Amino acid sequence: KPQLVASNDRFCRFLEEYCPVVTETYYPTIWCWEGRVQTLLRPFITSRPQVQYRNELIKTADGGQISLDWFDNNDSSYYPDPSTRPTVLLLPGLTGTSKESYILHMIHQSETLGYRYCCFSLLFILLLLTPRTYCAANTEDLEAVIHHVHSLYPSAPFMAAGVSMGGMLLLNYLGKTGRHTPLMAAAIFSAGWNVFESVESLEKPLNWLLFNYYLTTCLQSSISRHRQMLEKLFDMDLVMKARTVREFDKQFTSVMFGYRSIDDYYEDASPCRKLKSVGIPVLCLNSVDDVFSPAHAIPVETAKQNANVALVLTSCGGHIGFLEGIWPRKCTYMDRVFKQFVQAMFEHGNKIFSM
């Protein structure tokens, strides 16, 4: 059974009644139960449901450009009025887009519930208009997206869900804004709570070989197309020689956002430092065998100090894995947690503090 950590008894009772999956025994796929295996196989095993997006480009204050992929769900029979149709903002991981299987499954799982979805990818995939990319601690672009979505549908219930780096960014935003956000609740999956511990884990030899080097090359590839613009500000030769995420962040990300050192950036980017300030209901799912977020770095004691926070910790599942069943092509445990929690908040969220 997962471990449910929450200081608020009413929040616990709410989850037990309206999101019972968090109290059910999770049975990982028996032939790939180990965390790294789950992490590696999920993208290849799980299916990719068909989702038709509508793309929107919005301008940022610094002249940059953000790409949003919308699934409007205009055929919704539960919410035929677009102005009041519940909306979920999705934030995929560091190198993820709206085409990731876990994003597609999130939408597919709750499409019949009638909700609308907007996906904001952290990794720029269009022409870079300004020498500025992502940063786990800088929430300006996320704030702009949240304000934009809310301004389009001010009468619609509004939630957000973040996965991995997307979850870290969302937590940092929530820690910064407290209760002053149009979001009514949020779901976080496989977030790295302490960046120092995450990069140390990923630099262990086997983890470096399986994950770290690949992520680093993905990041280098994402900026290599814009080298002519970026080399005016960065030593791009050093950036392209990086062999770990830490080296890349030291030469590129921390410099781009004006940090004095990589340690200053990682301290600012770690959501565990801001968890006490979260002011809306947040459900966070982590597996204790996730090499991207080691078990000892999950802020269990800090979560117990905030009545708005609930942690769900499984013993298996890896990083964005949570595969279950003999042949886990479709629904994962993470998908079920997402669906039940989103539905619980949209349909019964007003009961949290009255139970």
State the pLDDT at residue 127: 45
Residue at 257 is within a domain: yes
Residue at 66 is within a domain: yes
pLDDT, tens digit, for every residue of 17-65?
A: 999 999 999 999 999 889 999 999 999 999 999 999 999 998 877 777 8
Residue at 337 is within a domain: yes
3-state SS class at 19: coil
Domain that holds residue 112: 3-193+270-350
Q: Is 325 found in the same domain as 237?
A: no
Q: Is 147 found in the same domain as 29?
A: yes
Which of 269, 300, 329 is the last residue before a domain boundary?
Answer: 269
Cα(254)–Cα(246) distance, integer angstroms? 10
Torsion on CA atoms 327, 15, 98, 164, rounded to nearest 10: -90
Q: Is 329 found in the same domain as 221?
A: no
CB of 108 closer than 8 Å to CB of 49 = yes
55-59, 264-268, 334-338: which range is least confident on average? 55-59
Residue at 45 is within a domain: yes
Q: Is 87 found in the same domain as 109?
A: yes
State the pLDDT at residue 311: 98
**For residue 343, is pLDDT > 70?**
yes
Residue at 235 is within a domain: yes
pLDDT, tens digit, for every residue of 176-213?
A: 999 999 999 999 999 999 999 999 999 999 999 999 99
pLDDT, tens digit, for every residue of 130-154?
A: 455 667 888 989 999 999 999 999 9
Which of 214, 246, 269 is the last residue before a domain boundary?
Answer: 269
Q: Is 105 found in the same domain as 87?
A: yes
Cα(7)–Cα(20) distance, integer angstroms? 18
State the pLDDT at residue 123: 59
Residue at 355 is within a domain: no
Q: Is 207 found in the same domain as 84?
A: no
Helix extents (H) in the chain:
9-18, 35-45, 101-110, 140-152, 165-177, 195-202, 205-207, 213-224, 227-230, 236-241, 245-248, 254-256, 262-269, 300-303, 333-348
4-18, 116-130, 159-173: which range is least confident on average? 116-130
The full length of the chain comes to 355
The pair of three-digit structure tokens given for residue 327, joined into one six-digit string: 């042949």
Q: Is 13 found in the same domain as 153?
A: yes
3-state SS class at 84: helix
Provide the domain count of the chain. 2
CA angle 197, 202, 207 (to 5 degrees): 145
Cα(153)–Cα(111) distance, integer angstroms? 19
Nearest Cα neighbor of 8 from 305, 256, 325, 321 is 305
Q: Is 241 found in the same domain as 126?
A: no
Residue at 249 is within a domain: yes
Residue 60, domain CATH: 3.40.50.1820
**For residue 122, is pLDDT > 80?**
no
CA angle 109, 113, 114 (to 5 degrees): 115
CA distances from residue 168 to 55, 113, 135, 186, 219 in whole angstroms, order as listed: 24, 27, 10, 12, 17
Q: Is 313 found in the same domain as 230?
A: no
Q: Is 15 found in the same domain as 129?
A: yes
Q: Is 188 found in the same domain as 158?
A: yes
Catalytic residue list:
164, 290, 319
Please spell the DSSP secondary structure of 305-319, one letter per residue: T-TTEEEEEESS-TT
Residue 233 pLDDT grade (very low, low, confident, very high; cuts 50, 70, 90): confident
Please provide residue 31's backbone torsions phi and psi, each rounded to the nearest 5 degrees.
-90, 0
CB of 203 closer than 8 Å to CB of 195 = no
State the pLDDT at residue 173: 97
Residue at 135 is within a domain: yes
For the chain, state the CA radius of gyration. Answer: 19
Q: Is 86 found in the same domain as 167?
A: yes
Which of 227, 246, 269 is the last residue before a domain boundary?
Answer: 269
**For residue 128, is pLDDT > 60?**
no
pLDDT, tens digit, for every residue of 292-326?
A: 999 999 999 999 999 999 999 999 999 999 999 99
Q: How many CB atoms lie within 10 A of CB 185?
A: 21
**For residue 124, is pLDDT > 60?**
no
The pair of three-digit structure tokens given for residue 189, joined into one six-digit string: 């999956």
